[in-house]
Each structure stands twice: as structure tokens, then as C-alpha cells.
Amino acid sequence: MNQDQLKAAVQAYWNKESCGTSVTQQSKFSKIYFDEIETYRYEIEPEIFSFAQFTRYYGKRVLEVGIGAGTDFIQWVRSGAQAYGVDLTPESIEHTRQRLMIEQLHAFDLQVADAEQLPYPDNSFDLVYSWGVIHHSPNTEQCLRELVRVVRPGGTIKIMVYNRRSLFAFYRYVLCGLLKGKPLRSFKNILFYDQESLGTKAYTMKEVRTMIKQHAVTIKSLTAPVTYHDLLGYKSRIFRGLASFAASIFGWQRVGWFMLIELKKNKD
Ligand SMILES: C[S@@+](CC[C@H](N)C(=O)[O-])C[C@H]1O[C@@H](n2cnc3c(N)ncnc32)[C@H](O)[C@@H]1O
């Protein structure tokens, strides 16, 4: 499969159902539909707030890349940012448009676009934010190049990518490798074929540092805090206890599924 075919598969996957929308049975695009998606999201992924810091960007030009159902995007708009949003899928853009309409809010721009080729000039934004997106795109390095290109010198880039050295990645290995009698499957292979859309990647911190080194940016922070997904929040107490024990041994800020990367674009 070449990169174009892979991207088409990624697009088809996310266009069928925008990320995080399966948690509600309410009528599509109703207010309660969006409310339930939002409540569930921040209940299980509260780290988004401290990472994104939505309210700090009042009046700033913010681009979100890969907006999904628009739950974070609406936070930028509510916070008074000049919010621009793109996603590879029309389904995502439609979700976000409907949501803005219900709340009578306004985005500066919303469009279907590819993170590997952003439709904005160089140095356009104060902040570029992308949560759980660029590891799904076939050419993640090209996405990063684009995020850096469109942020202004001195501006900030906040990205979440999956962490291969995480408790959650280990559970995926147990489920899709060990328990299926395929212990030789690598973490990379399991995540590529069995984690959300085809071609999903996850990185080690070392790989991320190497990738970032190619760009004119400074790392402000790089952590992988243990999340609900790593702590098996939906399992019984015994599993949760074991997961917490593992996190204590391997590091609460190192073995989380979400690798949080904050970068500053260099001025020269
Ligand atoms: C896991 S979802 C995350 C969505 C949202 N950021 C969230 O946290 O709910 C991945 C999203 O990335 C989008 N995506 C994948 N590849 C992309 C690309 N090359 N350009 C733009 N969006 C992309 C998908 O369409 C999907 O909406």
C-alpha cells in the first residue's frame, strides 16, 4: 500500500465516525449529544486542560490540526481565541460546524485540509495545537514540518503523540500479541494494524527528540503522564492496583500513552 492509499484508509476510518462520538446514544448533533461527548472526554482525559491551557489564548491566533468532533476546538472558541481548525474528514468539520451553530459561536476558519500540507502561509499563528493526530498521518515528519512552518517565530506548538513505551501500548501487546498466540508481533506492528486507523504509529521519547532536532524549535516540555487508559480505569480494582504499581516503578511522567510535547519556534 502506498502513502496515498494509506491516507485514504485513514480518512475513510475517521470519516465513518469522528473520534470520541461513540460514547453517546443521543440524537446526532443535538445539544445533549455534544454535551455527553464533552463530559466523557474530560472525565477520562483531564490532562488536556493543563496541557492546552485554553483560557490563556484569548485574542490569539490559534490553529488546531485534526479537530475530530470539535470538543477541544470549541474550548478555543469559548476562550475567545481567533480559532482556525482543520481535519482530513468532512465528518469532523460538519460536527464542529453544528456544534458552533448550537452554541452560537464563531470560528475564524474551518476546513477539510491535510496536516501534511496546511493551507496557511508561513508564520501565521501564535499557537498550533494538535491532539492525537499526526501519528495517524502516513508522513508524520511532514506534518511536524508543516506545524512548525505555520507558527510564528516565538510562537508555541503543542502536540500529543502516542508513546510506544507506555503501559497502554503494553496492554495492546498482551491483547493482540500474547493472548492471540503471536508473541513475536512487535509493538509497532500491533499499533500499525490494530490501533484505530490503519498505520497508527507511536514513538519513544528518544525518537521524538531526534525528529524535533531537525527543526528550528526548542523543547519547552516533553512528558508522558500516566493516563486513565494506562491505569485501566474501566477495569476492576485489582487490575487498576497492578497498573498503579507498574506506574510507580516505571515513572508516572514517563510511561503514559499520551506523549505531550510543547515546542517554541526559534526567533532566528
Ligand atoms: C484520534 S482522532 C483525534 C481528534 C481530536 N484531536 C481529538 O482529540 O478528539 C484523529 C483525527 O486526526 C485526523 N487526521 C488524521 N490524519 C490527518 C491529516 N493528515 N490531516 C488532518 N487531520 C488528520 C482524523 O481525521 C481524526 O479526526
What residue segments make up the domains of the chain, in order of their start? 3-164+198-225+256-265
* Secondary structure (H, E, C), 7-25: HHHHHHHHHHCCCCHHHCC
Instruction: Indicate whether residue 87 lines ligand 1 (CB < 6 A).
Output: yes
**Which residue owns the Cα nearest ligand 1 atom 5?**
68
Beta strand pairing status for 125-131 and 217-223?
unpaired
Ligand 1 pocket check: which of 23, 63, 95, 133 to mutate, most ligand atoms within 8 Å of Cβ? 133
**Which residue owns the Cα nearest ligand 1 atom 27?**
68
CATH architecture entry for 3-164+198-225+256-265 = 3-Layer(aba) Sandwich (3.40)
The answer on pLDDT for 239 being more than 90 is no
Nearest to 131 by CA among 247, 244, 261, 43: 261
Region 196-214: mean pLDDT is 97
Q: What is the pLDDT of residue 31?
A: 97
Instruction: Indicate whether residue 200 lines ligand 1 (CB < 6 A).
Output: no
Q: What is the pLDDT of residue 233?
A: 74
DSSP lists the bridge partners of residue 217 as 265
Q: What is the pLDDT of residue 268?
A: 73
Give 251's pLDDT tier (boundaries 50, 70, 90): very high
56-60, 159-163, 221-225, 234-238: the lowest-pLDDT one: 234-238
Name the DSSP letter for residue 57. G
pLDDT in tens, 15-72: 999 999 999 999 999 999 999 999 999 999 999 999 999 999 999 999 999 999 999 9
Q: What is the pLDDT of residue 235?
A: 78
Instruction: Indicate whether residue 89 lines ligand 1 (CB < 6 A).
Output: yes
Give 240's pLDDT tier (boundaries 50, 70, 90): confident
The answer on pLDDT for 237 being more than 90 is no
CA distance 224 to 93: 29
Distance from residue 49's CA to the centre of ligand 1 (Å):
18
Q: Count Cβ atoms within 10 A of the Cβ of residue 25 and give its class: 0-12 exposed, 13-18 middle, 19 or more buried.
A: exposed
**Which residue owns the Cα nearest ligand 1 atom 10?**
133
DSSP lists the bridge partners of residue 221 as 262
Q: Are 15 and 68 in contact (CB under 8 A)?
A: no
Q: Are 147 and 157 in contact (CB under 8 A)?
A: yes
Give 236's pLDDT tier (boundaries 50, 70, 90): confident
Region 246-267: mean pLDDT is 96
Helices (H), the chain: 3-16, 31-44, 47-52, 71-78, 90-103, 140-150, 167-176, 187-194, 205-213, 237-250
Ligand 1 pocket check: which of 87, 95, 96, 140 to mutate, most ligand atoms within 8 Å of Cβ? 87
